[in-house]
Amino acid sequence: MSEKTIGETTGATIFALSTASARAAIAVIRLSGASCHNALTALGVTDMPAPRMAGLRALHHPKSGALLDEALVLRFAAPQSFTGEDMAELHVHGGLAVTASVLDALSEIDGLRPAAPGDFTRRAVLNGKMDLTAAEAIADLIDAEGGAQQAQALDQLRGQLRHRAEGWRDSLTAILAHLEADLEFADEDLPGGVGQKALHALPDLQKDLAMQLDDGRGLRLRDGIRIALVGAPNVGKSSILNMLAGRDAAIVSARAGTTRDAVEVAMLLAGVPVTLIDTAGLRAAGDDIEREGVRRAVATADMADIVILVNAVDTPADDATDDEMKALMARADLHLVNKSDLGDPPPSGWSFTPPAEAMELSATTGAGAEALVARLTDLVVEKTGQGGGALVTRQRHQTILRDVVNHIGAAQRAADAAIDGGGGLELAAEDLRLAQRALGRLTGAVDVEQLLDVVFADFCIGK
């Protein structure tokens, strides 16, 4: 552990507003560190509430003595607290002047400093109160916009990923122990092949890890799903977008940074944040500008998790001549035939095999909209797994598991070579040690200090 980290962890007592910075009935200011008791005394709390017992106390400015608020004061004695340190919570009235004045008062007290983003959780990890996956889960829980994301974050908080990672580590440890025994007593007459037999467990372990690595549902659920509408111009893509945005079943999300304009609509489907994207019309482009529009549409759709191909009963079924566009249309998850109010769809005319599933719709009358929302909901559930089972929820997990799988693969190859007489089992053992080490980084059992900055990069202050 670096000097700096030790200093930061055990040094200053930190404080922060842990609720949103806005006018509200109540705001909670948290403190963590050895000076909590002193800080409360400095605020004029002489009759200290017992740990975990709330007490209504007057708070005064330590310098001016001015009354700041009547607040509920809570204390937690180390190590029985979120961070593992002494902690205090001030439940003040949630007025902007009140919170600002209490924070200002705290900053006047010796040994106290404002918390940096993620500081409280960082201390909890460093003090062994939780592992890195739980810390990540707290960030995800706070960011969760829908029930499915919430469920996934709670699964991770409760150790779903950690337990599996520990299971994998135990398997590696057992294999390694046998292998090392084999190597150590190679000259003695031990029953031969103990280590080699243990290596038989490697392929199953490898398979299990690879399966989790390939499962993109957890990442998609955490990031949200992107759905692209593609098709020729004027088939009704933006009308469909607006129709979906206005429906009760598809709750338009209040996600920051998204606008309800004609191009993108953010909403929740099955508890998953979904971004519906209207791409430029796909057709054989005339001029350069149009060609650029098509190129972007293809690129957007390529990155989407779900592609909906739209055409209309009154337009030629297939206006696409470009191979890239055809490939994109053919990979669509869903085919919508819009403007059903105008008559029957054209009998055929596609120059490629459209996706099997076609649904009729009228964006104007709303006919078919219920069925469309239901189908989209099913697709979203299929792509995200709804917080059930998916273990890998972040790029960080993916990178680590890929490392582990690679080290196990190398161990397997070294073991195969050793059995063929082409090398020593020492090499396999070394690769397994590397795999074990890599796995330790998932929970922070290994290299926790180096990992903290990555994990806490997207934390906000007060967490």
Given the rule CB under 6 A, which residues bind ligand GDP?
Answer: 233-239, 281, 338-339, 341-342, 362-364
Tokens, residue 62? 């330590």
Beta bridge partners of 90: 29, 73
Q: Is the CB of 148 or the CB of 376 nearer to ligand GDP?
A: 376
Kindly state the smallest distance separating residue 277's Cβ from ligand GDP, in Å. Answer: 12
Kindly state the smallest distance separating residue 235's Cβ from ligand GDP, in Å. Answer: 5
Q: What is the rounded distance in angstroms from the CA atom of residue 30 to the CA atom of residue 75?
A: 10
Q: Is the CB of 226 or the CB of 237 nearer to ligand GDP?
A: 237
Whether residue 215 contacts residue 392, with contact meaning beta carbons closer than 8 Å, is answered with: yes
Q: Is the CB of 173 or the CB of 365 nearer to ligand GDP?
A: 365
Residue where the block lists tokens 């890890």: 209
Q: Is the CB of 343 or the CB of 421 nearer to ligand GDP?
A: 343
Kindly state the smallest distance separating residue 338's Cβ from ligand GDP, in Å. Answer: 5
Q: Is the CB of 13 or the CB of 340 nearer to ligand GDP?
A: 340
Kindly state the smallest distance separating residue 228's Cβ from ligand GDP, in Å. Answer: 13
What stretches of 108-159 show up as alpha helix (H) in DSSP? 119-126, 132-143, 147-157
Kindly state the smallest distance separating residue 340's Cβ from ligand GDP, in Å. Answer: 7
Kindly state the smallest distance separating residue 243's Cβ from ligand GDP, in Å. Answer: 8
Nearest residue to ligand GDP, scored by beta-carbon proximity: 236
Helix pair 132-143, 160-184: axis angle to 10 deg: 160
Helix pair 119-126, 3-10: axis angle to 10 deg: 110
Q: Is the CB of 238 or the CB of 399 nearer to ligand GDP?
A: 238
Beta bridge partners of 11: none
Q: What is the rounded distance in angstroms from the CA atom of residue 167 to the CA atom of residue 253?
A: 38
Strands, E, within 24-177: which ranges? 26-32, 55-60, 67-76, 87-93, 112-114
- CA angle (48 as vertex; 79, 27 as ends), nearest 5: 80
Whether residue 380 contacts residue 306, with contact meaning beta carbons closer than 8 Å, is answered with: yes
Q: Is the CB of 322 or the CB of 403 nearer to ligand GDP?
A: 322
Q: What is the rounded distance in angstroms from the CA atom of residue 48 to the CA atom of residue 70?
A: 14
Kindly state the smallest distance separating residue 261's Cβ from ligand GDP, in Å. Answer: 13
How close are the terminal C-alpha atoms of the chain, in Å?
22
Q: How many Cβ atoms are within 10 Å of 374's Cβ, its own excluded?
A: 11
Residue where the block lists tokens 């890929």: 402
Q: Is the CB of 169 or the CB of 339 nearer to ligand GDP?
A: 339
φ, ψ (nearest 5 deg) of residue 306:
-135, 135
Q: Is the CB of 38 or the CB of 364 nearer to ligand GDP?
A: 364
Residues 6+ apart with CB under 8 A from 432: 172, 175, 176, 179, 407, 408, 411
Kindly state the smallest distance separating residue 361's Cβ from ligand GDP, in Å. Answer: 7
Distance of CA 94 to CAs 64, 112, 124, Å? 22, 22, 26
Give me the sign of the Cα torsion angle 444, 450, 455, 460: positive
Query: Which among 84, 217, 102 has a CA at the least distance from the CA of 148?
Result: 217
Q: What is the rounded distance in angstroms from the CA atom of residue 294 to the CA atom of residue 307?
A: 15
Q: Is the CB of 179 or the CB of 243 nearer to ligand GDP?
A: 243
Kindly state the smallest distance separating residue 339's Cβ from ligand GDP, in Å. Answer: 4
Q: What is the rounded distance in angstroms from the CA atom of residue 449 to the CA atom of residue 59?
A: 37
Kindly state the smallest distance separating residue 341's Cβ from ligand GDP, in Å. Answer: 5
Kindly state the smallest distance separating residue 370's Cβ from ligand GDP, in Å. Answer: 15
Helix pair 202-214, 160-184: axis angle to 10 deg: 150
Q: Is the CB of 235 or the CB of 439 nearer to ligand GDP?
A: 235
Q: Is the CB of 364 or the CB of 406 nearer to ligand GDP?
A: 364
Kindly state the smallest distance separating residue 153's Cβ from ligand GDP, in Å. Answer: 36
